[in-house]
Structure 1
Amino acid sequence: MHASVGDHLVQHGRVVGQHDQVTEIVEVLGTEGSPPYRVRFPDGHEAVMSPGPDCVVRHIERQARGERIGG
């Protein structure tokens, strides 16, 4: 998994009815875009995440083309 500052990290819901959680990557702490990442949640708080298999990165180039963010 590789990401850049500004990309979105999407953690898919694990149970029926649980929505995907979308955070913005504000700092890449690993080497060459690899985890862990400091992320900002929609409510403004930040955390360090090492994404698991239920996460995907939505790159900022996709956003520029107008693709929907957040599933």
Structure 2
Amino acid sequence: MQAHLGDQLVVASPATGTTRRDGEVVGLHHEDGTPPYDVRWSDTDRISLFFPGPDTHIRHLNCPAGAGPSHTDAPQEA
């Protein structure tokens, strides 16, 4: 998983009745965009260190020039 500043992380829980959580990546700890991330959560406006699990995906909102979403983050057109 690779993120850029400004990307949105979405955490969808597999448990029934649990709400989805999303937040903005506001800090990177590695130059290559790999976890962990500093995330500002939309539901609390708090920033926390986040290690994404298998139920997390990235919405690339502000991709730098020449960088696009990876094949695992966005569907490919035929």
Does residue 43 of structure 2 align to residue 7 of structure 1? no
Q: For 1:1-71, list aligned pairs within 5 A.
A: 1-42=1-42, 43-60=44-61
Shift >2 Å, 4+ stretches: none
**1:26 and 1:5 mapped to 2: Cα distance?**
6
| Higher Cα Rg, which structure | 2
For 1:51, give the aligned amino acid.
P
- The normalised TM-score by structure 1 is 0.78
More helix by share: 1
Percent identity between the two aligned chains: 34
The C-alpha deviation readout for 1:32-53, integer Å capped at 9, x for no partner, is 0100100001221110011011
**1:31 and 1:52 mapped to 2: Cα distance?**
20
RMSD of aligned residue pairs (Cα, Å): 1.6
- Stretches of structure 2 that go unaligned for 5 or more consecutive residues are 63-68, 70-78
* TM-superposed deviation, 1:28: 1.1
**1:51 and 1:24 mapped to 2: Cα distance?**
13
- The normalised TM-score by structure 2 is 0.72
SS, match of residue 33 in structure 1: coil
